[in-house]
Structure 1
């Protein structure tokens, strides 16, 4: 990153192609009116049925474990949140109500409200699509609430992942830390603009060396660790193409590694505390759906200004992981305001079709080089033609996406 702070840009999630919001009333009710029961323990998440008819679904969640827990209904990609209920104390019960369209989903519990969760299971919704009844203001508020849930989930997974990554780095287990580096960063890259809005938090977590030097701040965070893990050759240059890699730098001592690792853990914890606080809620509500739409644009800009050039992960060559995570975050933000754009009229429908096509083509181009789950090729393996093709797809998507905010506000 080379920007000290930016306005808050938002990413959000919902079921693909349809607005699915907790608390809305549908024209089709859950068959029989009975709630699906969910029992969350420290290591399991048991649900009374693996399927239900489309419409308003009620999940009655009981916490039979020893830690405060959460329950999620996830979209078919296992990432996007359709609905969630959190802060369920041991022995307590809460109900999640969602309007679920036909499709494939996953259910998941998260005891301790950190990490990947437990008991992930397939869940199917059958039947016909159902219409949503509700005031426009209510739907917009629900969109903001779902975005908040997504951010909390990503940061909740980032915290333990960074702890494990830092443990390997401090212990000198560089091979393990190298394998973890791009995967851990994906949680951050999906919601990075949240940290960018918090003054010097993003610089502490994610500044490159040349940017820290230019701004006269101490260099810490992911990229300080990256250079220790991928020690450059003696004649290598920094990403500015001018500064020698070893000028004013040498590999961290074990004590320095411990200090740098502790700082990263503390900074990520600060991000976690922020997204679970009232200031975050107030900021989201003040931004509304315009903030979510602007987030789709800003996250694609992250790709265009840093990842596509290969300057972000200069030493590790793992830029495509960051690229993919930024695109995921951008697409999620778009998915949450998509229906508002369609509702604006024929021009909105046409714009949405262009954006849908742009994401599909960009994802297909990126898939030629790997995936977040299976790994990507090193950025240095891409030819100039490969980079141009990716850049062309980014530009093709950026043009209609830039019109999104004004369209959803019509």
Structure 2
């Protein structure tokens, strides 16, 4: 949930280990003449090329500002082609993506908020898909099925939650809340790519843009756990949540999914864990952060598993490390299980949160290299 991250930016900026929090990103090759150099600062977003061939595109990003930033590539309608978050001051990173012929905008977001500082660019050519291993086509098809299945299975879970809200059953609604979010959390980068759905269903109160009405899961979360009562307004919001998620379910099949988008999406899910779940920011009232944490890791691992056959051929050392780190994170999470779910996150100590954070960082670093591993030259 991009909007929820705004509140943690200041804290992230203050960390002396900012490079680690920024994802221990791939090394950026400033001498790569084929890359589009993106230089971000607190007031500028400079690109070395405003036109480049369609296909595999490499963005070599450097943050020369004083704030943590994000870099996005937007297609018309603010559809997200690719993104990289938590790029700390003085940090370099490389983003690999597959881009069709057309017009785009590259945006830098100092402070990780707002619409960003944008530069118009274009990808030239006939718009053909980038050449790739046939195994990757199978991976994309399988992932597309996975994403649709998650959306389809989310709706009944959400309706169970919203039905309890509309009945005024506080305890039943609390019990159904976290399970209703699992499918969304597993596939959130795809949902976010549409631009308009995430702010409706998954925004936190402190992430609202000026004039934006607060709707979605977290608005209801606050009523259930903080005000501890269900109003008619909450019941109306429950209906709206179902409506918005049905829109997501209908549109998810049209998402532009590529192997590099899958790999970048896996990294984005780890960013979600680091900036929202580990900090306790995401589920600040319900403290069900570990359910979301698990779902993010599952979604990331699904993308990785589908891409692994090709990645292991090109970078076997990388896949060996990823296998090791996914196993370590999952083992650590298992230690917090309770019944069918997890312990309340407010019972997790600072030391244990630090251990979780370190495990996520250890996984995020090699995961940031996955997109490059599946690019076919």
Q: Deviations over 1:14-70 (max 9, x none)?
A: xxxxxxxxxxxxxxxxxxxxxxxxxxxxxxxxxxxxxxxxxxxxxxxxxxxxxxxxx
Partner of 1:322: 292
CA distance 1:307–1:8, change in 2 (3 Å):
farther
| Distance of 2:147 and 2:247 partners within structure 1 | 14
Match of 2:251 among 254, 260, 274: 274
Asked if structure 1 preserves the Cα contact closer than 8 Å seen for 2:80 and 2:195, the reply is: no
| Distance of 1:6 and 1:366 partners within structure 2 | 33
Asked if structure 1 preserves the Cα contact closer than 8 Å seen for 2:170 and 2:230, the reply is: no
Partner of 2:341: 375
| Shift in Å, 1:210 | 1.1
CA distance 1:137–1:352, change in 2 (3 Å):
closer
Q: Deviations over 1:315-356 (max 9, x none)?
A: 000000000000000011110111111111xxx111111111
Q: Deviations over 1:169-223 (max 9, x none)?
A: 11111111111111111111001112211122101000011112x4431000000
Partner of 2:236: 259
Partner of 1:153: 149
Match of 2:218 among 217, 223, 227: 223
| Shift in Å, 1:3 | 3.7
Work out the number of aligned pairs and report it.
256
Partner of 1:399: 365
Asked if structure 2 preserves the Cα contact closer than 8 Å seen for 1:170 and 1:258, the reply is: yes
Equivalent residues in 2 for 1:131-142, closer than 5 Å: 137-142=133-138
| Shift in Å, 1:361 | 0.6
Larger radius of gyration: 1
Partner SS, residue 312 of structure 1: coil
The answer to whether residue 192 in structure 2 is matched with residue 205 in structure 1 is no
Partner of 1:351: 318
Equivalent residues in 2 for 1:107-146, closer than 5 Å: 137-146=133-142
TM-score of the pair, normalised by structure 2: 0.64
Partner of 2:279: 309
TM-score of the pair, normalised by structure 1: 0.59
| Distance of 1:169 and 1:331 partners within structure 2 | 33
| Shift in Å, 1:394 | 0.6
CA distance 1:359–1:9, change in 2 (3 Å):
farther
> What root-mean-square deviation, in Å, do the aligned CA atoms of Structure 1 and Structure 2 show?
2.1
Q: Deviations over 1:123-157 (max 9, x none)?
A: xxxxxxxxxxxx96432211111011001111001
| Distance of 2:210 and 2:276 partners within structure 1 | 18
Partner of 1:7: 80
| Distance of 2:269 and 2:348 partners within structure 1 | 22
| Distance of 2:310 and 2:341 partners within structure 1 | 35
CA distance 1:176–1:9, change in 2 (3 Å):
farther
| Shift in Å, 1:358 | 0.5
CA distance 1:362–1:8, change in 2 (3 Å):
farther
Which segments of 5 or more consecutive residues in structure 2 lack a partner in the other structure? 5-77, 84-130
Which segments of 5 or more consecutive residues in structure 1 lack a partner in the other structure? 11-134, 234-250
